[in-house]
Every structure is written in C-alpha cells, then in structure tokens.
Amino acid sequence: MLLVNASGCLDALTAPEVATQFDAFVTKTVTPEPRAGNPPVRIAETDFGMLNAIGLANPGRDAFLSETLPKLRTLGLPLWVSVGGFAAHEYAETCARLEDVTIELNLSCPNVDEAPESAAEIVRACREVTDNPLYAKVSPHTWDMGETVRAVEEAGADGVSMVNTLRGVALDARLRTTLARGVGGYSGPALKPVALASVLAARRVTALPIVAMGGVQSGRDALELIACGATHVALGTVLFADVDAPSRVRDELVEEAHRAGFERPEDAFAVAVDSVAKSAN
Ligand SMILES: Cc1cc2nc3c(=O)[nH]c(=O)nc-3n(C[C@H](O)[C@H](O)[C@H](O)COP(=O)(O)O)c2cc1C
C-alpha cells in the first residue's frame, strides 16, 4: 500500500519535509497553458469541510517540464504528474512529453464532460501516446461509478484514483457567496462516506489498483477505504491542518488494523466488499 498526497494539496518544493513522508509525490494538475486561476476569495471553510475554487492555477506544461519537474526529481521520490486539459488531445499532448513518472489524468477539469464516454475518450487518447502507468482520477458526480470505472479500464487505464471534490457553495453573513466564483470543490471529512461508496462500487467491477481519497484524517479512515477495496490511500485537506499527518496516519493505520483484528492493514483489503455480497445474497 502506498500513502501519497492528493493532487493540489501539497507543494513539495516549499514543504519537502512533508512530501518526503509520503511514498510518492503527486503534483498539482498541469494544463497545457499557464493558468492564474480564479480571483480571490478562492478558499472557504465550512462546518464539515473546505471549499476551494483555485481554478487549476499552474505554470503550464512548458514551464512545468523545464523548471518544476527537474526540481521535483531532486526530492528522490517517485513522481506522479496530474495532467489536465480541456479536450482529449490536450491531455495526450502532455502525456506524450512525460517520462519516468506515473500519470494521473484529472478528469474533473472545468468544461470537461464527466460522462463515462468522455472519460474513456481522454484515457484512450493518452494510452495511445504513453506506456507510463496511467491512472484515471474520476469525479464523484456520477450515478454509476461502476460504469465509469469499466469505461476507463476498457480504454486502457492501469488504475483509478477517486474521488475528486464535490461541487459546493458557502454563503457569508450577508448571504453572498463566499467564493468569488460562487461554486467550489468541497473536500474534507464530509467526503469520506462518498469516497467509501465510490471505492466500494469500483472494487465490485474492477481488479485495477485504486488510489482512494476523500476526507481521510486518521488511520481509521484510511483503513476503511482499504476495507472498501482501496489499494493506495491519498491525503488531501488534512495536510492544510496537520503537516505530520502522513507519519501519523501511517502509524495509526497499523494500530487500527490490529484493533480491527488484522495483522497488517493490507489484510483488511476489500473485506467490506465481501460483507456486502454476503448480506445481499
Ligand atoms: C485546495 C485544493 C486544490 C486541489 N487541486 C486539485 C488539482 O489540481 N487536481 C486534482 O486532481 N485534484 C485537486 N484537488 C482535489 C484533491 O486532490 C482530492 O481529490 C480531494 O480534495 C478529496 O480529498 P480530501 O478530502 O482528502 O481533500 C484539490 C483539492 C483542494 C482542497
């Protein structure tokens, strides 16, 4: 099992001491052109999670490849590059230029249709141009996660990452939207049941590796995702509050596995999937 950061939730170059607690570093999503992102306010706290409307701010793929990526390589960690775009060919053009990294396709980019066919089209275009490990990061905005996962697997994905944020809105005291853009991505503790359901649904239809994320704050949360069928676990919003979260979650995971009656966390893999199958029969 790998413990990694969730894309966009950690800058490894400003916080290498946090990044090196992970087994691999996942970059913020890289788009073809540089993006300044949305105007402020871009972050809002809510009772049970956080809203962000960063708008995929990033230096664009040319600067990423020539400046950011060489610096990231000096960390000595396996790298996962999150790739974004507005059309399948844009994703593929970036993938074609990446070597010696795992690629995570962010399929929840603005203006990208989140339907299974669109996700599959992007994965297929990227599969044609790269032999690198290719993960499809899917949105929780689907009424049938199994269909999406089957579609990206058929299109050639080597694994799936889930979940990205849910759309949310927060209002200020004067009942105006807190975020300048209005709608943002909702992350943090409230997302955990959504992530558990997504992983469970995915694991029922695929044997591919699954990187699971959504509201993980503790070792118990990580163990629950593994029990639903996660192969790897990612930490996102928790990193804004606790820079020691990777080491803490890793320690707690072992303790929590013992408490639940398993020798190692991996031994709890997909046990919840079996429990659903049994009670459904
Ligand atoms: C501030 C912020 C920026 C994010 N940026 C990205 C991004 O660039 N690409 C991406 O795929 N996901 C991005 N995400 C989503 C996270 O990777 C993750 O899927 C989501 O936050 C759920 O996990 P969490 O509840 O542990 O934060 C971002 C999330 C936050 C909070």
> What would the pLDDT profile of 45-81 be if each residue is shown by its tens digit?
999 999 999 999 999 999 999 999 999 999 999 999 9
Residues marked as catalytic: 109
Supply the mean pLDDT for the chain.
96
Residue 210 in this model has a pLDDT that exceeds 80: yes
Encoded tokens for 174: 């004067």
Alpha helices, DSSP H only, in the chain?
16-19, 61-63, 69-73, 88-96, 116-127, 145-154, 192-203, 219-227, 238-241, 245-259, 271-280
- For residue 10, the Cα-to-chain-centroid distance in whole angstroms is 12
Tokens at residue 28, please?
A: 């913020």
6-54 tens-digit pLDDT:
999 999 999 999 999 999 999 999 999 999 999 999 999 999 999 999 9
Q: Would the CB of 191 count as within 6 Å of ligand 1?
A: yes
Determine the residue of 3, 4, 9 to mutate for testing ligand 1's pocket, defined as the one with the most ligand atoms within 8 A of the Cβ atom. Answer: 9
Q: In this predicted structure, what is the pLDDT of residue 110?
A: 72
pLDDT of 142? 86
Residue 281 pLDDT > 60: no
Which residue's CA is minimally distant from atom 19 of ligand 1? 164
Nearest-CA residue for ligand 1 atom 15 is: 164
What share of the chain has pLDDT > 70, as a percent? Answer: 98
Kindly give the distance from the C-alpha atom of residue 9 to the centroid of ligand 1, in angstroms, as a whole number: 6
Residue bearing the CA closest to ligand 1, atom 18? 164
Q: What is the pTM of this model?
A: 0.97
Amino acid at 122: I
Strands (E), 6-74: 25-26, 43-45, 50-52
188 lines ligand 1 (CB under 6 A): yes
Q: Give the pLDDT confidence score for residue 279 in this predicted structure.
A: 61
Class of domain 3-38+54-166+189-280: alpha beta
CB of 137 closer than 6 A to ligand 1? yes
Question: What are 51's strand-pairing partners?
Answer: 44, 186
Domain boundaries, the chain: 3-38+54-166+189-280
Q: What does the pLDDT average to over 114-126?
A: 94
DSSP summary character for residue 41: P
| pLDDT value at residue 162 | 98
pLDDT tens figures, 252-278? 999 999 999 999 999 999 999 988 866
Report the distance separating Cα 256 and Cα 241, nearest Å: 22
Closest CA to 18 of 75, 62, 60: 75
